[in-house]
Amino acid sequence: MKTRMHITFILLAISFIIIAFTGFCMDFKILILPKTLSKPLHIYLGYFMIILVIIHLIDNRRWIKNIFK
């Protein structure tokens, strides 16, 4: 379980960094990546990040229960 939490956290961090980078580039019209690559990458990594957040919450449900007692 600890290993899955670590992998989930690392993937969350990587996807957040990529989403922030592509969002910054799209906002300021910086063409480091082609638009045909950066926009779908931004969108699908957002979907992937939602799934990772759900997995992260499931893995940490005991900790969440203790907070809201």
Contact at 8 Å (CB) between 65 and 28? Answer: no
- Listed in sequence order, the DSSP H helices in the chain are 2-27, 35-59, 61-67
| pLDDT tens per residue, range 23-63 | 999 999 999 989 899 999 999 999 999 999 999 999 899 88
pLDDT of residue 69: 81
| pLDDT tens per residue, range 1-17 | 679 899 999 999 999 99
pLDDT of residue 2: 77
CA distance linking residue 2 with residue 57, whole number of Å: 13
Among residues 48, 36, 37, the alpha carbon closest in space to that of 11 is found at 48
pLDDT of residue 53: 96
pLDDT of residue 17: 97
